[in-house]
Amino acid sequence: MEDQANPLMLMTTSQGSIYVELLANEAPDNVARFIELAEGQVEFFDEVANATFTPRYYDGMRFHRVLPDFVIQGGSPSYHPLGAPEPMLADEINAIALGLDRLPVLNEDGSINPMLNVGNQEEFAQRVLEPLYRELGVEIVSELDSAEDDIVTNLRGLTVMRLYEYEGYAYRSDLQTRGISRGTVALANDGPNRNGPEFFIALRNADWLNGRHTVIGRVVEGMDIADRIGGMAIDPTAFNPQSSVIYSIRRLN
C-alpha cells in the first residue's frame, strides 16, 4: 500500500483473489462511486418490477472483454440486469501532471506522436484533423483552402492535451494523476465525462490511454491472477461461458 489510509479492496474471482488499493486522493468522486457500487449503496429502479434495488453491483459479473497482454475489463452495465447507475461521473484527470501539455501531436520530422496510437491516415483524420477543423470553425470542404495556413500553424503547435480538450475532455489541476501502467485500475468509458461502473486492469504499460481514462487504483497483490484472467481473449460482443467471474468486491479496511 502506498497510503494505509487508502481503501483496500478484495476482488474475489473464479481465478483467484486480486487486492486493489484505491487512490482516493487522485479520483475522489469516482473512487467513492466504485466503493458504493461494490457495497450496494447505489439505488437502481427497475421499471419492470416497479421496485428499487441496491445490489452489490459487481457480484456475479464477468470480465467480458479481455485483450491478452493488454487489459481485462469488467463491470459493463450491458451485462447487468439493472443497467448503469445515473448520473455518469466526470473525469478526474490532471493532464499537466501527465505531461500531456508538453507532448506535441506531430514530431519535428512530421511523424505522428506514437502516444496517440494512430495507425493510419484515416484514423489521423478522424482523431486529429476533424477535432481541429471543428475548433477552427471549418465546416465544409470548400473552406479548407482559405483556412489552410491556420490549420498548418495550429497543427504544428498542437499538444496532446489540447487535442484531447478539442475532443471534449476537461482536466483538473487540483488533483494528482498517474499514467496507465501495468497493474493500474482505471475506468472504461465511451467518451469524455462518461464514467460508470465499468473498469479495466492494465496488463502492461499503456501510455496512449493517458488523459482519456480516470485512474482509480492499483493492484497491490494478485497480478498473477489478472494475468491468468488475461490469458484468453474474450470478445465483449458475445457472451462467453469461459470468461472469468467476479464473485465479489469488498472493502477490507
The answer to whether the CB of 159 falls within 8 A of the CB of 101 is: yes
Residue 88 has pLDDT above 70, yes or no: yes
Q: CA 180 to CA 190: how far, in whole Å?
A: 17
Residue 104 has pLDDT above 70, yes or no: yes
Query: What's 197's DSSP letter?
Result: S
- Tell me how far the alpha carbon of residue 233 is from its chain's centroid: 19
Residue 130's CB is within 10 A of a number of other CB atoms, namely 14
- Strand residues in the chain grouped as ranges (E): 8-13, 16-22, 44-46, 51-53, 61-62, 65-67, 71-74, 184-187, 199-202, 215-221, 245-251
Cell readout for 82 is: 439493472
Cell readout for 167 is: 475532443
Per-residue pLDDT tens for 171-228?
A: 999 999 999 999 999 999 999 999 999 999 999 999 999 999 999 999 999 999 999 9
Structurally, what CATH architecture does the domain formed by 8-94+172-251 represent?
Beta Barrel (2.40)
- HSE-CB at 45 with a 13 A cutoff on CA atoms is 3
- Give residue for cell 451485462: 79
Degrees to nearest 5, angle at CA 236 with 232 and 242: 40
Q: CA 182 to CA 204: how far, in whole Å?
A: 4
Q: CA 226 to CA 119: how far, in whole Å?
A: 28
Residue 9 has pLDDT above 90, yes or no: yes
- Give residue for cell 428499487: 52
Q: What type of residue is 232?
A: M
Q: Where are the domains of the chain?
A: 8-94+172-251, 104-158
Nearest Cα to Cα of residue 160 among 84, 103, 241: 103
The answer to whether the CB of 52 falls within 8 A of the CB of 113 is: no
pTM: 0.93
pLDDT tier at 83, thresholds 50, 70, 90: very high
Cell readout for 139 is: 465546416
